[in-house]
Amino acid sequence: MQIRVDGKVALVTGGSRGIGLAMARALAGGGAKVAIASRKPENLAAAKAELAKDGLEVETFASHVGKEGAAAELVKAVVDKFGRIDVLVNNAATNPHFGPTITADDKIFDKTFETNARAYFSLARETA
């Protein structure tokens, strides 16, 4: 599937592998300027190199979006680089607990909620 997003600026969280990397590939292939974010710089470097093999360019930003203030910092960094954000792909997620949610302790639940829910809201608010 080909999408056309010529000249748009896209931010993809969790963009260094899996669905996020596939989204980054599709957006860059469709003409967008793409920023990918992930917690680990080494994963970002590998993703950037993989996309470059296909002639696709992305900018990388190390960020743990589940941390306090990280959404604002990430959005500022991307806007400083590109001038704006037109497309937000909230893809970063964590799953530190395997089994029924009811059996997760509060610390695990908080970590999951901060990354999988609060960060999505914060990033949407910051890019609005």
Q: Which domains does the chain have, with CATH numbers?
A: 9-127 (3.40.50.720)
Q: How far is CA 72 from CA 2, 22, 119, in A?
A: 31, 25, 10
Give the whole-angstrom CA distance, residue 36 versus residue 61.
6
Rg (CA), the chain: 15
Q: What integer pLDDT is reported at residue 1 of this predicted model?
A: 62
The low-confidence residues of the chain, meaning pLDDT below 50, are none
Helix runs in 7-115, H state only:
18-29, 41-53, 70-82, 106-113
Rounded-to-integer distance, Cα 118 and Cα 67, Å:
10
Q: What is the pLDDT of residue 12?
A: 99
Read off the tokens for 22: 């596939």
